[in-house]
Amino acid sequence: MLTISPLTAADVGEIYELEKSCFCSEAWSRADFEYLASGSDGVFAAFAARFDGVLCGYICTCCVAGEMEISSVAVSPEYRRRGVARALISAADEHFHPEKTFLEVRASNAPAQALYKSLGFKPYAVRADYYDDPPEDAVLMMR
């Protein structure tokens, strides 16, 4: 059974390991996740996804003036295509009720782009050479 809950300090170690495995050279720091888990301001929100108690994904977001940015979303490879990312995005939407939502995605990540399009996101720009290791453009999307 899939459950989504706000990120807590107890989740940080597992989230950080998932972050490093999914994003390698571009991984956020452990301190970044500790800050998000502190819940100290109303601008940032992060959620953990667990499938039968096993951490399988997370999302980090911020929202200002009705505009939410999905800063990071990751799902363990073995749990992809099971609705985890969709459920995480839904949790962020329910938390903030944004008027607009923005994200960026690697140009080569066709599965993620297809998911985002199915959720109503549309590409609106390309940010050249945004990613490192390997260098790649980012497709900017908005809903």
For residue 143, pLDDT beyond 90: yes
Residue carrying the six token digits 């108690």? 53
Residue among 66, 75, 83, 80 at smallest CA distance from 21: 75
Of the three residues 98, 116, 132, the one that is the final residue of a domain is 98
23 to each of 29, 54, 77, 81, 103, how far by Cα in Å? 11, 20, 12, 18, 16
Co-location of 59 and 44 in the same domain = yes
Co-location of 85 and 132 in the same domain = no
Percentage of residues in the chain having pLDDT higher than 90 = 66
Percentage of residues in the chain having pLDDT higher than 70 = 96
In the prediction, which pLDDT does 24 show? Answer: 58
Split into its structural domains, the chain has a count of 2
In the prediction, which pLDDT does 26 show? Answer: 65
In the prediction, which pLDDT does 132 show? Answer: 83
d(CA 102, CA 132): 21
Average pLDDT, the chain: 90
In the prediction, which pLDDT does 95 show? Answer: 94
CATH number for the domain spanning 50: value is: 3.40.630.30
The mean per-residue pLDDT over the stretch 131-143 comes to 92
pLDDT in tens, 81-95: 999 999 999 999 999
Co-location of 112 and 89 in the same domain = no
Per-residue b or e along 39-75, where b marks 16 or more CB atoms closer than 10 Å to that residue's CB: eeeeebbbbbbbbeeebbbbbbbbbeeeebbbbbbbb
Q: Residue 63's Cα: distance from chain center in Å?
A: 13
Range of the domain at 88: 2-98
In the prediction, which pLDDT does 25 show? Answer: 59
Co-location of 37 and 60 in the same domain = yes
